[in-house]
Amino acid sequence: MTFLQRELKKVTDMSQLCSMVTFVGDVGYVRISEEIRLRLEFLRSELSIYSGISMTMINRKEGVIDKNNFSFIDVLGIKAVKNPNFKEGICPHIWKDSYKFDWYVYKPIESDYQKIAEMVDCYISMFQDEGLSRGPQMKL
């Protein structure tokens, strides 16, 4: 498993609405319903920086239904670090250096992954058929 696959898997494992994830390269696909799949990948904001998550809902017969991106700064905020070069904190992001990927300075903790998973679940809930979630659903 690649670094990007492992990081996406941490998110989908914490998700209430992602069951099995199939990886094709660094992209994860999640079955939402019989015809709908979620394409989940890191959002590249610059050549070497991955600053968020890109989510695309795809109908297997008709193509892209919707696309939504969110940045880590919007979900996680500025993170304080002990590194003196970042006294104001840092926007969480993944950095690609040559062929190596890693979180740049700040490494997310479990609660950070949970917040990202909640954002993914919020998006999925807009497209999910009733009865396919792993967790409880709210009835209005």
Mean per-residue pLDDT, 48-73:
97
H helices present in 26-66, as ranges: none
Q: What percent of the chain has pLDDT over 90?
A: 84
Residue 7 DSSP label: H
Please, are residues 102 and 4 in contact by the beta-carbon 8 Å criterion? no
Sequence ranges of the domains in the chain: 3-71+109-126
Confidence (pLDDT) at 47: 87
Confidence of residue 46 (pLDDT cuts 50, 70, 90): confident
pTM of the model: 0.88
User: pLDDT grade, residue 138 (50/70/90)?
Assistant: very low
pLDDT over 70 (residue 137):
no
